[in-house]
Chain A
Amino acid sequence: MTHPAQDTRLWRRDTTVLTRALGRTPHYVVAGGLAVIFLFPLLWNAWASVSGQPGTAQESGYGLGNYRTLLEYDAGLWRYLLNSTVVSALTVALTLAVSLLGGYAFARFTFPGKNLLFLLTLAILMVPYATLLIPLYVLLGRLHLQNSLIGLSLVLAMFQLPFATFMMRISFEAVPRELEESALVDGCGTAGALRRVLLPAVRPGLITVGLFAFLAAWNDFIAPLILISDSEKAPLPLAVANLRQQSMGAVDYGATEAGVVVLAVPCLLLFLLLQRHYVRGFMSGALKG
């Protein structure tokens, strides 16, 4: 059925597809090889946490022995998970509330000291984390917030403010003014306009801010290390790091690997679900630079 001419054309098209695929091969070899390197530690850790290793709770075979160790370690996994959840939730709530109001103020109002306050908020970025933690340790003591999850959350929220305020300011500025003004004309106060009209409009910004605040609070290590002295109140990263030193001499690698899984899974899931919002954070940050 095939015409000879058609045949050659087909053949020729096949070769171009083939050469193009071959031309791409080095690209895919490099990209694929790198992907393996990037994925391997994550996959290995997940596998190692359930596979048998001498010197761990899971001596042989596959099972959840390491996770059981984690459940029973010191104050128990649930306690540490609760601590981490409380700190993350408080930090996210504080960051959202403060930056929502602040972003609205900076985007839509003029008031004395506005530019100074905005610059000071961004200046938090210029000061190293570690520089502030030593005086904050003393200051929280004076406020009776030392060794407290609330104090820790307040500090973590403060470190989120530069990004959060910037993000919320540009989110509000992107909303057309007419939207808010028509609400004001309809008899809403500015608070009503914020709640009914602006809040839905800046929701993507809020999600981005909340995501960044959660990841930062959930994962932070040095702030709880310095500000929390009671092991009962340690968030999960600190607890897992302490767990390694616990058993004298004999290091429990298995329980640590299980701890890393518990730490990593919420972050990976949230990132995969909210990737779009995460990338938006980068776009705004990069525009600024």
Chain B
Amino acid sequence: MQVKAPDRAPAEHRAPPEHRARRSPTSTPLWRSRKVQGLAYAAPTALFVAVFFLLPLLLVGQMSLSDWPLLAGDRGGNAPENYTDVTDSPLFWPAVRFTLLYTVIVTVVLLGLALLLALLVQESRPGAGFFRTVYFLPGALGLASASLLFWGLYSPTTGPLSRTLEKLGLVDEPVSFLGTPTSALLSTVFLVVWKFAGFYMLILLVGLQRIPHEVYEAARMDGASRAQIFRGITLPLLRPSLALSLLLCVTGSLLAFDQFFVLTKGGPDNSTVTIVQLIYREAFQRLNLGTAAALSIIVLAALLLLNVLQFRGLRHADES
């Protein structure tokens, strides 16, 4: 929107206020200086960042080095006992392995499907908008709500999936979708893919729409096949969006909690315990905030390392 400066205002009056301030510094009260006003507007943000972000970050470091039972509070330093306790715990390495396995499966399936969805709805065919909305709809739900929904859907007794399979005669007895470690993992992956595919579709769609039409037309003039266009043009030009999706998906999956807490509770036989679930268990079932803090720091370090590596890898790929 353009607004004309009023005619009566001479040009010099339209100069930014700091110019005026510099010309007559004594006549400007302190609270009127741009610097102070900027600080004042940023103060709430600074307060939030300091109290609810930096302070907890320092505190979690201190807690990870202290004997800190949930009920008794700080009982002084015990470094590095919390860290060795955590890595010696019989649940730690299985949880690391399971979280990594889950992350790999989810990322591959989710981004593959999201790319397919984005390609399906990218052109302005009739109905593209409808399909876009439908694919995204599960994304508006919360992850916990979606997990509760699928918990009913997967029920061997009242869920529609098991009953349908039985009626079709494909199985003889109710199917327990969450009953074995493998089925519990795959059922959870299905839920997560259903919930998030539309989200990543949107990110990729933004990337697809930024590829100029002329590039496609030029390739088509040169007689490139659809597969060639996809490999030679779409995928390389989609790289920034794919990289962002990859980063978000990997980070989100490594921190998985809600879906397993609601659907499997870590079972059967602790086969689906993720790292973040382990933090929760340490703190609120084993009532040890010290080891929970140590685990939190380990997760933080791992994620920072991963982000650095991914960033470097992408930059390296960009140069080559």
Chain A residues near B (Cβ < 8 Å): 24, 27-28, 30-31, 34-35, 37-39, 41-42, 44-45, 48, 53, 55, 97-99, 101-102, 104-106, 108-112, 114, 117, 120-121, 123-124, 126-132, 134-139, 154-155, 157-158, 161, 165, 176-179, 181-182, 184-186, 189-190, 201, 215, 218-222, 225-226, 237, 240-241, 244, 251, 253, 256-257, 259-260, 263-264, 267-268, 270-272, 275, 279, 282-283, 285-286, 289
Q: B279 near A134 (CB under 8 angstroms)?
A: yes
Q: Apart from A101-B41, A263-B141, what are 20 other A-B pairs with CB-CB below 8 Å?
A: A30-B120, A35-B134, A38-B197, A39-B137, A110-B34, A111-B38, A126-B303, A128-B300, A130-B257, A130-B299, A139-B56, A219-B141, A221-B258, A226-B280, A244-B148, A244-B151, A259-B148, A267-B142, A283-B206, A286-B240
B219 CB–A CB distance under 8 Å: no
Report how far A121 CA is from B37 CA in the complex, Å.
19
Kindly supply a per-residue 1/0 record for chain B positions 239-283, scoring 1 wherever the CB is within 8 Å of any chain A CB and 0 otherwise: 011011001000100010110011000000000000010011001
B116: min CB distance to chain A, Å? 8
B98 CB–A CB distance under 8 Å: no
Report how far A139 CA is from B63 CA in the complex, Å.
11
Main secondary structure of the interface of B (DSSP, over half): helix
Q: A219 near B144 (CB under 8 angstroms)?
A: yes
B41: contacting residue among A39, A104, A219, CB under 8 A: A104
Q: B52 near A131 (CB under 8 angstroms)?
A: no
Q: B59 near A275 (CB under 8 angstroms)?
A: no
B153: min CB distance to chain A, Å? 6
Q: B241 near A256 (CB under 8 angstroms)?
A: no
Q: A39 near B134 (CB under 8 angstroms)?
A: yes
Report how far A183 CA is from B197 CA in the complex, Å.
46
Which 8 A-B residue pairs are closest in the complex by CB-CB distance?
Answer: A219-B142, A109-B38, A289-B244, A102-B45, A105-B41, A111-B38, A221-B144, A135-B56
Q: B144 near A275 (CB under 8 angstroms)?
A: no
B169 CB–A CB distance under 8 Å: no
Q: B142 near A289 (CB under 8 angstroms)?
A: no
* Sampled A-B contacts (10; CB under 8 Å): A105-B41, A114-B42, A117-B45, A134-B296, A176-B1, A226-B280, A257-B152, A260-B149, A286-B203, A289-B241
Closest A-chain residue to B6, C-beta based? Answer: A182
On chain A, the residues within 8 Å of B17 by CB distance are: 181, 184
Q: B206 near A132 (CB under 8 angstroms)?
A: no
- Knowing A111-B38, A282-B202, the reply to whether A130 touches B255 (Cβ < 8 A) is yes
On chain A, the residues within 8 Å of B9 by CB distance are: 182, 185
Report how far A178 CA is from B15 CA in the complex, Å.
10
Report how far A168 CA is from B89 CA in the complex, Å.
45
Report how far A155 CA is from B51 CA in the complex, Å.
10
Closest A-chain residue to B139, C-beta based? Answer: A271
B60: min CB distance to chain A, Å? 4
Q: A135 near B14 (CB under 8 angstroms)?
A: no
On chain A, the residues within 8 Å of B56 by CB distance are: 132, 135-136, 139
Closest A-chain residue to B303, C-beta based? Answer: A128
Q: A38 near B42 (CB under 8 angstroms)?
A: no
Which residues in window 158-174 of B have CB below 8 A to A?
158, 160
- Knowing A101-B41, A109-B34, the reply to whether A138 touches B289 (Cβ < 8 A) is yes
Q: B1 near A158 (CB under 8 angstroms)?
A: no
Report how far A279 CA is from B132 CA in the complex, Å.
11
On chain B, the residues within 8 Å of A275 by CB distance are: 133
A195: min CB distance to chain B, Å? 13
Q: B35 near A271 (CB under 8 angstroms)?
A: no
B230 CB–A CB distance under 8 Å: no
A256: contacting residue among B42, B151, B243, B276, CB under 8 A: B151
Q: A111 near B35 (CB under 8 angstroms)?
A: yes
On chain A, the residues within 8 Å of B292 by CB distance are: 134
Closest B-chain residue to A28, C-beta based? Answer: B127
On chain A, the residues within 8 Å of B158 by CB distance are: 48, 53, 55, 253
B105 CB–A CB distance under 8 Å: no
A73: min CB distance to chain B, Å? 14
B183 CB–A CB distance under 8 Å: no
Q: B59 near A135 (CB under 8 angstroms)?
A: yes
Q: A111 near B144 (CB under 8 angstroms)?
A: no
Report how far A201 CA is from B1 CA in the complex, Å.
9
B307 CB–A CB distance under 8 Å: yes
- Knowing A126-B307, A219-B143, the reply to whether A279 touches B138 (Cβ < 8 A) is no
On chain B, the residues within 8 Å of A161 by CB distance are: 45, 48-49
Closest B-chain residue to A183, C-beta based? Answer: B3
Q: B54 near A120 (CB under 8 angstroms)?
A: yes
On chain A, the residues within 8 Å of B160 by CB distance are: 44, 48
On chain B, the residues within 8 Å of A263 by CB distance are: 141-142, 145, 148
